[in-house]
Amino acid sequence: MAALPYSIRLYDELRQSLEREAEIEDRPPAQLAVRAIRLMLEAKTAKRTAIRAALERADQGKFISAEAMNDWIDTWDTKDEVSAPRADIARTSV
């Protein structure tokens, strides 16, 4: 895959921060910028994928109540920690 030039405008403060970090890492600023853009795009893709999966699960009409979730969360990091709750609410046809 060929790397092509791409021009962006940065506020001076951001440019200076990028250049400082590049100097610390002994890397070109462009390499850090590319890495940051790649990580941001991967995070956005992962978020969209998670949202899509959650919507698909929600379309099944089975949900966990806030009460069940809160009860479960209250057990985290205790000797009585329990497994994640199962769906306890089902969508009814209207």
For the chain, what are the domain ranges? 12-59, 61-94
pLDDT tens across 35-86, in order? 999 999 999 999 999 999 999 988 999 999 999 999 999 999 999 999 999 9
The pLDDT of residue 92? 78
Question: What are the C-alpha distances in Å from 44 to residues 37, 38, 48?
Answer: 11, 10, 6
Q: Report helix, strand or coil for 90.
A: strand
Question: What is the pTM for the complete model shown?
Answer: 0.69
* 1-23 mean pLDDT: 95
